[in-house]
Structure 1
Amino acid sequence: MPNRLALKRKSAYLAQLGRCYYCGLPMWQDDLDSFSRAHNIKPSQAKPLKCTAEHLEARQDGGLDTAQNIVAACWSCNQRRHKRKKAPAPDAYLDLVQQRVRKGRWHCAPLLTAFGALFAGHDSGGEATS
């Protein structure tokens, strides 16, 4: 039986239509090879897109394992946020990531090419913008 955090991650993944909270790219949960084939990318390119549970307020700062505090983020975005000396606030990090994605300076070029159409006209939660 999955643990509580895994269930909250899956719930966030579904609510976000399988897209990363920060960069907006599709993510995979259990089957890297199927995801890679479906998107015509190499498994090594898809590996950073594994879905993780991202605590908006980190546990070390008192953040809880609640649905309000957990979003689904790709491994790459999650790691990059928390490898900084001081993890930026979620809103500031979201803005930073989306600016870099728009400039083509976040994920590797093959990923940006493969998923480029997803960036136009969508926000990070998978919702169409006007």
Structure 2
Amino acid sequence: MPTLKDPQYRAFARREVHRRQGGRCLYCHREFTEAGELAMTLEHLKAKMKGGTDHLKNLAAACWHCNQHRGKQMNTTKLLKEAKMAKRAADARSEEKV
């Protein structure tokens, strides 16, 4: 299967995803520009680190601003989940001592 590291596949994927979404961001629905915060970026719907692939079905077009915001949001969510799990583990340990 081709990956986004291949320049020809990356160009094809960008064109196809842009066409599929009508030239608009998946999240804010604004039209893409050539540069700046509304420049098009490719977004993995399921992150590669969570098992996602470079297949067209897993790719979406997002403006740079939304792509960056989503990354920060995912990191915050991950940190909150880890904190909750650590608290539960600490609570379970303290209950065992009683």
Taking structure 1 as the reference length, what is the TM-score of the superposition? 0.49
Letter in 1 for 2:50: D
Matches within 5 A, 1:111-126: none
Tell me how far apart the structure 2 counterparts of residues 23 and 15 of structure 1 sit (CA, whole Å). Answer: 16
Partner of 1:8: 13
Question: Do the aligned partners of residues 21 and 64 (structure 1) sit closer, same or farther apart at CA in structure 2, a change above 3 Å counting?
Answer: same
Deviations 1:68-109 (A, max 9, x none): 100111011111001232569xxxxxxxxxxxxxxxxxxxxx
The one of the two structures with greater contact order (alpha-carbon pairs below 8 A, sep at least 6) is 1
Taking structure 2 as the reference length, what is the TM-score of the superposition? 0.64
Larger radius of gyration, structure 1 or 2? 2
1:14 Cα offset (Å)? 1.1
Question: Do the aligned partners of residues 25 and 3 (structure 1) sit closer, same or farther apart at CA in structure 2, a change above 3 Å counting?
Answer: same
1:5 Cα offset (Å)? 2.9
Give the secondary-structure state (helix, strand or coil) at the position aligned to 2:61. strand
Question: Do the aligned partners of residues 62 and 87 (structure 1) sit closer, same or farther apart at CA in structure 2, a change above 3 Å counting?
Answer: farther
**Cα pair 1:9 1:70 within 8 Å, conserved:** no
Percent identical residues = 39
**Cα pair 1:5 1:65 within 8 Å, conserved:** no
Question: Do the aligned partners of residues 2 and 70 (structure 1) sit closer, same or farther apart at CA in structure 2, a change above 3 Å counting?
Answer: same
Tell me the number of residue pairs that the alignment of Structure 1 and Structure 2 aligns: 72
Q: In the alignment, does 2:63 pair up with 1:58?
A: no
Unaligned runs of 5+ in 2: 1-5, 79-98
Partner of 2:32: 27
Letter in 2 for 1:69: N
Tell me how far apart the structure 2 counterparts of residues 63 and 83 of structure 1 sit (CA, whole Å). Answer: 18
**Cα pair 1:19 1:26 within 8 Å, conserved:** yes
